[in-house]
Chain A
Amino acid sequence: MLYPDTVESEVIVHKPWFITAMFAAILACFLALNLTGTTMGELMRPVIGDPVQSGFYGRFAIAFTIAVIFCLNVVLIGFAPLKLQIAIVWLELLLLFLAFFETFHLSLPFIREKLPFMITQGVVTTLYVSAISIVIASAIAILGAVAKLSTNGFAYAIATFYTSFFRGLPLLMQVYLIYLGLPQLGFVIDAVPAGILALSLCYGAYMTEIFRSGIQSIDRGQWEASRSMGFGFGLTMRKVILPQALPVIIPPTGNQFISMLKDSSLVSVIGVWELMFLARTLGQKTFQHMEMLISAAMLYWIMSICLELIQSRIEHHYARSKVR
């Protein structure tokens, strides 16, 4: 959160001009969208009669009702304390999404039947592919960052070539290149190792930059103090610089991990049975694509939320030594 001012600011959602503008905007928006043929029209039947026959009166009534409900909702939430506001808005947005999914008329029994396999096979594969990749990527990133900061021409050239190449190519293409290209050189590689290799190399390149900026953010004085005591490069790096750079490195690395979790879906193209692959194949036989895709989407989301929580815990942990 930003550093808040001590001056009590007025609640914007309670200002008449804001409410009027919001009301007008929503009214106009839903007048333009004709909702008479939808569930909304059915719900309004007692007021407007047959929705299809109701014409402009029906459209207006529906838009007006929605605008009133929306504005009332916003104004009421404006009275709640901050935490409650956040919770209510989250809940409402979630319900809207569920309502959106509801319109697909998903077959719940089908989902219930396939879900266990999606978790035991898909989620587990996605998780371990991502976890192994992030570990390897971090190792590559440390090496890459040190090489990029070194005065050794070879190391610098290799590191910059590597980051340039792997940041410059689409990940999908890297997956293909490794899976289909390495056998040309005589290494026949399985789909899972190929996927892990592609993810590690690609994310290692991005994370090299994160690690490099983290290392550079540490005050020069720390190097000088270490040197003046006789610490060599490795010791200084391991024991003085990296531990201090970690709090800088961790938030963007957490981001990368969340992003990798979803990008791991790209390895489905080489036939790894991870979540995305199952989502596409399980529904194929019975044409129930939407069921599987939405289930997979929810599973990805849940995993990301878990990672976000873990990330904030770690950030909190590292914030401690800065507290006075």
Chain B
Amino acid sequence: MSPDTIIQATNVAKWYGAFQVLKDINLTVRKGERIVICGPSGSGKSTLIRCFNRLEAHQEGDITVTGVVLHDKMRNVASVRRNVGMVFQHFNLFPHMTVLMNCMVGPMWIKGIKPEAAKKTALQFLERVRIPDQANKFPVQLSGGQQQRVAIARSLCMQPAVMLFDEPTSALDPEMVSEVLETMTSLARDGMTMVCVTHEMGFARAVADRVIFMNSGQIIEEGKPHDFFTNPQHERTKLFLSQILKH
């Protein structure tokens, strides 16, 4: 494994009861790479990235994240998780804390950073997602797009080695999708390693280094965005793209 590998998955398989959600997944994410995973719903793409910070456990194969092998007997999953940022479909901000506190608690409680320093970092990242003026509001007072950008800032405050995005725009009004995508694009330009599960094909085309297409638990196609969109190989991919790009 080369030193700049951030995530390596080999022969990963996972079952929910008798139902196999992931089948023989092989994937390598290198430092600075932007990967978009797409596919029909139920294809296992969310499950896959949730395995990368062990919100879900895989049953077979190996997943190595920032040099640590994820397995059942892990005493300290937290040490991996603090290096892996995650942005959820439903934001999952802490509703009882202000926006600023949402961004401060991670560094304060996990890294033991002093409140003043944490506040400085938090404000810096809120600036980065362009909402420093909302710092003292509560999440419910913000629009969906703003909440998602706070969620991105919250993850960035932990200064992760890789960011996982789990359908970050699926719960947003159409108007707010673009502001979140812009934030993600600018993050990508700054060289953040990103794995995004998304249906935003425009984003994939513009930003991704590789697009991965999953269907019923398998990676069935993988390629550069240009090749992927103009010359898909697999029948299922063609069908998916024709459906999603029809309108």
Contacts and interface: CB of A to CB of B under 8 A. Distances in A.
A230 B95 contact: no
A225 B151 CA distance: 9
Given A228-B81, A321-B140, A244 B86 contact: no
Interface residues of B, number: 27
Contacts of B141: 324
Interface in B67-118: 77-79, 81-82, 84-86, 88, 90, 92-96, 105-106, 109-110
B56 to A, nearest CB: 10
B138 interface: yes
A230 B81 contact: yes
A221 B50 CA distance: 13
A235 interface: yes
B55 interface: yes
B109 A235 contact: yes
A224 interface: yes
Interface string B130-165: 000000001011000000000000110010000000
Q: Is the interface of A mostly helix, strand, loop or mixed?
A: helix
B53 interface: yes
Nearest to A235: B109
Contacts of A321: 95-96, 138, 140
Contact of B53 (A222, A228, A243, A322): A228
Interface string B15-42: 0000000000000000000000000000
Contact of B158 (A219, A227, A230, A239): A230
Contacts of B158: 229-230
B147 to A, nearest CB: 12
A166 interface: no
Contacts of B79: 230
A225 B95 contact: no
A238 to B, nearest CB: 10
B220 to A, nearest CB: 28
Interface string A223-243: 011011111100100011001
Given A232-B78, A321-B140, A322-B140, A227 B55 contact: yes
Interface in B157-212: 158
Contacts of A240: 94
Given A229-B82, A232-B78, A244 B88 contact: no
A218 B77 CA distance: 23
A142 B2 CA distance: 48
A240 B101 CA distance: 12
B85 A228 contact: yes
Contacts of A225: 86, 88, 92-94
Contacts of B86: 224-225, 228
A244 B105 contact: no
B106 to A, nearest CB: 5
Interface string A146-162: 00000000000000000
Nearest to A222: B92
Closest 5 CB pairs between A and B?
A230-B82, A225-B92, A221-B92, A228-B86, A230-B78
25 contacts: A221-B88, A221-B90, A222-B92, A224-B88, A225-B86, A225-B88, A225-B92, A225-B93, A225-B94, A227-B81, A228-B55, A228-B84, A229-B82, A229-B110, A229-B154, A229-B155, A230-B78, A230-B106, A230-B158, A231-B109, A232-B78, A239-B105, A321-B96, A321-B138, A322-B140
